Amino acid sequence: MPQIHSTAILEGDIALADDVVVGPHCVLEGDITIGSGTRLIGNVFLTGKLAIGERNVVYPFSCIGFAAQDVNFPHDKYEPGIVIGDDNTFREGSTVHRATQDAPTTIGNNNMFMTTSHVGHDCQVANNVTIVTYSGLGGHVHVQERVIIGGGTIVHQFVSIGTGAMLGAGLFVTQDIP
């Protein structure tokens, strides 16, 4: 049976694997599925249509599943949501926004999202990606496998980052990176 702290709030169609840990002051609201071994440490807010795989760790003040920061998108539209794979770490204050188009915002496996990193709506993040502190992906960004995005780097919307790319700290990326 999942371990749910007495101060947590769960509202909606919530499906938790038997060994999920939901820490103090977490809020889960909407259509949410969380896989085995995933831990929400505390003060985490999950919403929308959201599927999270196995063995993920979400640190305090992370917000996953909120509506896109897009004035043309209705904030009460939850589809198509977000799909997150396995073995990801979302450090303090990281954010991921749900999609506005036909496919969900997608995050693969074995990724590290350091403090205050942001993944915008409709992004596709592959596997083994590290997004360092204060970095952000605008909407519709595609990040391939084994990419490192240095601290304070901003990636403009509709940009693609190729496999194995390493972006230095403090960049503003406006074009595709092979």
Structure tokens at 38: 């995933």
pLDDT the model gives residue 78: 81
pLDDT the model gives residue 172: 97
3-state helix, strand, coil in the chain (%, to 5): 0, 40, 60
pLDDT the model gives residue 121: 97
For residue 92, which phi and psi values (nearest 5 degrees)? -50, 130
pLDDT the model gives residue 97: 97
Q: List the helix and strand counts (H, then E) for the chain.
A: 0, 23
pLDDT the model gives residue 75: 80
pLDDT the model gives residue 25: 98
Each of the 178 residues of the chain gets a pLDDT tens digit; together they read 999 999 999 999 999 999 999 999 999 999 999 999 999 999 999 999 999 999 999 999 999 999 998 888 888 888 899 999 999 999 999 999 999 999 999 999 999 999 999 999 999 999 999 999 999 999 999 999 999 999 999 999 999 999 999 999 999 999 999 9
Looking at the annotation, which residues are catalytic?
Answer: 121-122, 139
Strands (E), 27-132: 27-34, 39-40, 45-52, 57-58, 63-66, 82-84, 89-90, 95-97, 105-107, 112-113, 118-119, 124-125, 130-131
Q: How far, in Å, CA of 87 to CA of 171, rounded?
A: 27
